[in-house]
């Protein structure tokens, strides 16, 4: 069927604004309506026996996997290995029998990810794919699939596929945590409640669209942009930088905030916007210290935080966006949205081809 852009100028905008809906759809498929607990589709192996998880993906899907590594290790207490698919098999990874190998792909057709999947299948792994296209090659070749219900994604730069991947990965984390006895029933109920509220919170985040467009008028003049985050916000910094590069052609780099003093701080002056992903988690104090180091060198900080964080950065940040205060577990899903909007508006202001950026393909089917 033909998919229109509705009231939007670009597919990317339509897809960004669809996120509350498709996150909700993806969640509803995995949350039991009466108990409000996460329940995954039946898997042909027992999650309780999984001793190691290997995650492989490319591009934005890889960054979803990186967030899942933080979640699976901190919440489900299971060790996770992760790699980009184009490196994975060439390092001849050591895989113990019975491990879980998880492939994340919007299309289910990315050549390197598919090759990694076949390698893991030959090496005794339980192969699970998280795909948006259930008829895809990866889905067909896996022992089990998990599905994002994002609907067709037309914009080359991935948006709703990413946040729905995160949503399903959060559900997987809770299921693994429960199977391994790593989480109390009370904590599990808190985290699933936080997840259930994500669609509504995502709607609130989208209300900042106009304000982010105004910030984009400044960012569009930059030659380089730095994105910083710690913990599970680090992959969101990487994703923010990727989005900006992909569609606005401005050079951007995502960095772990604490690693900034080992290099990128040398680049900071008043011509470099520094986007800080700073949800109200246990790392906020440290991130704020990094913000102060940046400001001391003339950096112009754009802060994404909750009301408390914004208040604490009010003397340092040139711009700030106040996001809803949420359980830090679900913050990566929500903080992905303002970085998408920022990249989108910068690209529109620069007049680039937002939905079909030069040199990029929606699905990379050659290695």
User: How many other C-beta atoms are found inside a 10 Å radius of the C-beta of residue 310?
Assistant: 18
Is residue 360 a contact point for ligand G6P (CB under 6 A)? yes
User: Which of 26/287 has CB closer to ligand G6P?
Assistant: 26
Is residue 340 a contact point for ligand G6P (CB under 6 A)? no
Q: Which residues lie closer than 8 Å to 125 by C-beta, 6 or more apart?
A: 54, 95, 98, 99, 100, 101
Encoding tokens for residue 136?
A: 């895809």
Is residue 84 a contact point for ligand G6P (CB under 6 A)? no
User: Which of 110/320 has CB closer to ligand G6P?
Assistant: 110
Encoding tokens for residue 120?
A: 């893991």
Q: Given 5, 121, 286, 362, which residue is catalytic?
A: 362
Which residue among 137, 158, 167, 340 contacts ligand G6P (CB under 6 A)? 158
Q: How far is the CB of 302 from ligand G6P (least distance, A)?
A: 23
362 annotated active-site? yes
Which residue among 54, 61, 305, 320 contacts ligand G6P (CB under 6 A)? 61
Cβ-count burial of 199 within 10 angstroms (0-12 exposed, 13-18 middle, 19+ buried)?
Answer: buried
Encoding tokens for residue 208?
A: 């900042």
Residues in the chain: 367
Is residue 106 a contact point for ligand G6P (CB under 6 A)? yes
User: How many other C-beta atoms are found inside a 10 Å radius of the C-beta of residue 317?
Assistant: 23
Is residue 60 a contact point for ligand G6P (CB under 6 A)? yes
Is residue 113 a contact point for ligand G6P (CB under 6 A)? yes
Is residue 183 a contact point for ligand G6P (CB under 6 A)? no
Q: What own/partner pairs with CB < 8 Å and gap ≥ 24 does 216-220 have?
A: 216/342, 216/345, 216/346, 216/348, 216/349, 217/349, 218/273, 218/318, 218/319, 219/250, 219/273, 219/302, 219/342, 219/346, 220/248, 220/250, 220/346, 220/349, 220/350
User: How far, in Å, CA of 287 to CA of 277, rounded?
Assistant: 9
Q: Using CB under 6 A, which of the segments 16-24, 102-110, 229-237, 311-319 binds ligand G6P?
A: 102-110
User: Which of 164/290 has CB closer to ligand G6P?
Assistant: 164
Is residue 156 a contact point for ligand G6P (CB under 6 A)? yes
Is residue 58 a contact point for ligand G6P (CB under 6 A)? yes
Three-state secondary structure readout of 9-28: CCHHHHHHHCHHHHHHHHHH
Is residue 363 a contact point for ligand G6P (CB under 6 A)? yes
Q: How far is the CB of 167 from ligand G6P (least distance, A)?
A: 15
Which residues carry out catalysis? Answer: 362
* Residues making contact with ligand G6P (CB under 6 A): 58-61, 105-107, 110, 113, 156-158, 360, 362-364
């Amino acid at each position: 069927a033909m998919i229109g852009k509705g009231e939007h100028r670009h597919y990317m905008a339509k897809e960004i604004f669809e996120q509350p809906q498709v996150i909700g759809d993806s969640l509803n498929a995995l949350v039991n309506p009466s108990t409000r607990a996460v329940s995954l589709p039946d898997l042909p192996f027992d999650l309780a026996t999984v001793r190691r998880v290997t995650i492989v993906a490319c591009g934005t899907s890889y960054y979803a996997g990186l967030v899942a590594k933080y979640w699976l290790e901190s919440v489900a207490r299971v060790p996770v290995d992760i790699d980009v698919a184009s490196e994975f098999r060439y390092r001849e990874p050591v895989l113990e029998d019975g491990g879980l190998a998880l492939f994340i792909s919007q299309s289910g057709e990315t050549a390197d990810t598919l090759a990694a999947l076949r390698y893991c299948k030959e090496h005794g792994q339980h192969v699970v794919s998280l795909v948006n296209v259930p008829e895809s090659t990866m889905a067909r070749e896996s022992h089990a699939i998990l599905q994002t219900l994002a609907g067709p994604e037309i914009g080359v730069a991935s948006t709703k596929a990413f946040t729905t991947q995160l949503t399903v990965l959060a559900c997987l984390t809770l299921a693994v945590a429960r199977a391994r006895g790593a989480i109390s029933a009370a904590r599990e109920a808190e985290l699933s409640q936080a997840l259930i509220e994500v669609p509504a919170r995502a709607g609130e985040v989208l209300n900042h669209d106009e304000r982010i467009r105004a910030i984009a008028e400044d960012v569009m003049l930059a030659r380089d942009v730095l994105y910083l985050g710690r913990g599970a916000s680090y992959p969101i910094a990487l994703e923010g930088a990727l989005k900006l590069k992909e569609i606005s052609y401005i050079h951007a780099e995502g960095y772990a905030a604490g690693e900034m003093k080992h290099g990128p701080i040398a680049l900071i002056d008043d011509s470099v916007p520094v986007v800080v992903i700073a949800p109200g988690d246990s790392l906020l104090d440290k991130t704020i210290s990094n913000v102060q180091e940046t400001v001391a060198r003339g950096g112009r900080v754009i802060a994404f935080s909750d009301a408390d964080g914004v208040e604490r950065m009010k003397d340092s940040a040139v711009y700030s966006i106040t996001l809803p205060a949420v359980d830090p577990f679900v913050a990566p899903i929500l903080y992905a949205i303002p970085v998408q909007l920022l990249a989108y508006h910068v690209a529109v202001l620069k007049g680039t081809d937002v939905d079909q950026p030069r040199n990029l393909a929606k699905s990379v089917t050659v290695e």
